[in-house]
Chains A and B, each alone.
Chain A
Amino acid sequence: MLLARLTEANGAPGQEGEVRDLIRAEIEPHVHEIKTDALGNLIAIKNPDSPGPKVMLAAHMDEVALMIVGIEGNGFLKFRPIGGVDPRVLVAKSVLVGAKKISGVIGSKPIHLQKAPERERAFTMQELLIDIGAKNKEEAERLVKLGEIAYFTTKYEEFGHDKAKAKALDDRVGCALAIRLLQTEVSFPLIVAFTVQEEVGLRGAGVATYQIKPDVALVLEGTTASDVPGTDEHKHATTVGAGPCITVIDRASIPHPPLVRELFALAEEEEIKVQVRRNTAGGTDAGQIQLSEEGVKVATIAVPCRYIHSPVSVMSKDDYEGAFKLVKSYLKRLQEQEARK
């Protein structure tokens, strides 16, 4: 199962190798050219010599994770986040640490030993430690090196009527969409950039776009949904199960308005349920792609995910299929427009 393989692979920003190898194996038979660039972006090209608009799809391979920054005298590990991680979600979670995939648990001071003011607030990152069961500092140092990464251990699982839960749906769900789309027949050039280091500042996408020089780009993402009890409806941003969402503005980009209009119109014609992303925060690779050289037409299509940037997020498989159908319809339409020329 593609989403299971992708989300169970590990890839902190700058250390996307495991994810990249997996994706390369999935797509190699379906593309004409494939390369890894200097920053680690995997760029796959289908139909490089065909006429027609050069379409780029982008999905980032990296996920938020924890980096080991210290080993305490008792063998516990200190860590810091790579990318945005909410410290409140970390206590008592299982992790795998470093190249040797050492099992660990994120530990904290037990509640009965906390002073009253400590109980009133969440633990900060500085107060949490990873327990790898080591006897002492020396043993811990044999197992783990400073700078190694701890990953959440969540297994992909489908549940409920149409839901799936996994770690790193941001943005392995985008990677999965892009992989499936590369397996779709098109007659014009289609290029996918599986990008690196999105979570630490959209770094891979800019250099990938400079090499690709696309006419139009679609960013495929997993984005935040806060449609949970206790949240005012006007703060939901997106709703799980209400279809893939299309961004009109975020911190990093204002997607190309005519392209955004075209996607909404297409969704209506094809009877694909879509929603507007109703939040102006956050950013995607679109921010860097749009500003490449003399500018690129760009849009972001995202699958809503609850509890994003945590050990486990939840998405709707229907939204995932809707996103696939929407992008596929868009590519098909480009193909038809090209044929009429």
Chain B
Amino acid sequence: MKTVIRQLTEAFGPSGYETEVTELIKTMVAKHADEVKTDVLGNLIAIKNGSQDGQSIMFAAHTDEIGVVVTHIDDQGFLRFGSVGGVGISTLVGNRVRFAGGAVGAIYQEKGSWKELTLDKLYVDIGAENKEEALKKVKVGEFGIFHREFEDLGDRLIAKSMDDRVGCAVLIEALKKIQNPKNTLYFVFTAQEEVGLRGARTAAYGLEPDLGIALDVTLTGDMPEARRMAVSLGKGAAIKVKDSSLITHPKVKDLLVTLAEENKIPYQMEVLEAGGTDAGAIHLTKAGVPSGAISIPTRYVHSPSEMVDMRDVEACVNLVVALAEKDLASV
């Protein structure tokens, strides 16, 4: 599974430009799903048919990652950029970006105080000596991502875009393990989550699931002087109670807790004070869809060094499998 996470986190997929990631996932899920399709917004939907009297569950993990877009190239060949999704300015100086066409560059700042740092005081240096040379490597309007390798630290892993490739990996792994589900399962690898939960909204509209579950990262509070949050790395799958986009349907939350206890899957409850997931879009679809989220505890979210614990990741896989195989008609 670590190999899958490595491949997924090293792929290129800023919001709207997720094709490399969805193509990769397609090769991983093709032989385990009954049908695989894509839609207008770029969602990849892998369907595993259930028995006829079962219900349908939509699992969503987003393929996109935060990034940048080139807005200007100056005469010396330096690039200016805008953000794609919620980019934390403190993570940028000295960081590296990789663009759709392959160009790599370093981000640095104009002179001035750290406290007053804004995006328009930062630039990317792609090693070009002038505008003409830069234009051979990138175009204005081209999207880029934060460029960083995957690191295996044992139980724990560091990579860029764990948010939400680790969620994608959980769904891929679960899909491989599920044999003959009673429920029809829609594994949706969603586009444009980071810019406003967009892919999940149109996918859910088309699929009309009976239940919606997002697989996404959540924050933790177990670092030095961290903002208080009762989620820790290594303490299991996080069952979402609420975030800014969703209040988990009480029955969905209770079902997930029951399943975790029945199957001896380590879990913790998650109350996220700021931030949202695809479940926020799914639960408001049409006449409403009972929804919740299984979150992967992650440190340093939206930095190029997002850290997860494999034991949590495996707990999430097991919880997805348990839910997928549960007879929902009895709940």
Contacts and interface: CB of A to CB of B under 8 A. Distances in A.
A236 B80 CA distance: 12
A249 B72 contact: no
Among A233, A276, A279, chain B packs the most CB atoms within 10 A around the CB of A276
Nearest to B192: A254
Contacts of B198: 290-291
Contact of B40 (A233, A276, A295): A295
Name the residue in B74, B141, B192, B195 with the highest tally of chain A Cβ atoms < 10 Å from its Cβ: B141
B40 A297 contact: yes
A249 B201 contact: no
Given A249-B82, A257-B17, A295 B140 contact: no
Contact of B82 (A252, A280, A295, A297): A280
A296 interface: yes
Contacts of A236: 72
Contact of B72 (A234, A293, A296): A234
Contacts of B74: 233-234
Contact of A290 (B15, B41, B205): B41
A226 to B, nearest CB: 12
Interface in A246-297: 246, 248-249, 252, 254, 256-257, 276, 278-280, 290-291, 293-297
A235 B120 contact: yes
B141 A276 contact: yes
Contacts of A290: 41, 198
A249 B16 contact: yes
Contacts of A256: 40
B298 to A, nearest CB: 24
Given A233-B72, A254-B15, A257-B17, A280 B83 contact: yes
Q: Looking at A232, A290, A295, A296, which has the most chain B CB atoms within 10 Å of its CB?
A: A295
A279 B82 CA distance: 7
Contacts of B39: 294-295
Contacts of A291: 198, 201-202
Interface string B158-185: 0000000000000000000000000000
A291 B72 CA distance: 29
Nearest to B204: A294
B201 A279 contact: no
A256 B202 CA distance: 14
30 contacts: A233-B72, A233-B74, A234-B72, A234-B120, A248-B143, A249-B15, A249-B69, A249-B82, A252-B196, A254-B84, A254-B195, A257-B16, A257-B17, A278-B71, A278-B140, A278-B141, A280-B71, A280-B82, A280-B84, A290-B41, A290-B198, A291-B198, A291-B201, A291-B202, A293-B202, A293-B205, A294-B203, A294-B205, A295-B41, A295-B202
A280 B206 CA distance: 29
A254 B205 CA distance: 19
B22 to A, nearest CB: 13
Nearest to B123: A234
B205 A234 contact: no
Contacts of B192: 254
A338 B233 CA distance: 56
A278 B69 CA distance: 9
Interface string B70-84: 011010000010111
Contact of B84 (A233, A235, A249, A297): A249
The contact size tier of chain A is: 20 to 34
Nearest to B142: A248
Interface residues of B, number: 28
B72 A278 contact: yes
Interface string B99-116: 000000000000000000
Contact of A280 (B17, B69, B139, B201): B69
Name which of A233, A276, A294 has the most chain B CB atoms within 10 A of its CB. Answer: A294
Interface in A33-52: none
Contacts of A279: 71, 82
Given A252-B196, A254-B192, A294-B206, 6 more contacts: A234-B120, A254-B15, A254-B16, A276-B140, A294-B40, A295-B202
Contact of B71 (A234, A252, A257): A234
A242 to B, nearest CB: 12
Nearest to A236: B72
A284 B243 CA distance: 27
A296 B17 contact: no
A294 B16 contact: no
A248 B69 contact: yes
A294 B71 contact: no
Closest 10 CB pairs of A and B: A254-B16, A280-B82, A295-B202, A295-B40, A234-B72, A276-B141, A234-B80, A278-B71, A294-B206, A248-B141
B141 to A, nearest CB: 4
A252 B195 CA distance: 8
Interface in B42-77: 69, 71-72, 74
Contact of A296 (B40, B201, B206): B40
Nearest to B286: A293
Interface string A289-325: 0110111110000000000000000000000000000
A264 B141 CA distance: 11
A279 B83 CA distance: 10
Interface in A132-181: none
A257 B64 CA distance: 14
Nearest to B120: A235
A202 B98 CA distance: 33
A232 B41 CA distance: 35
A296 B74 CA distance: 35
A268 to B, nearest CB: 12
Contacts of B40: 256, 294-297
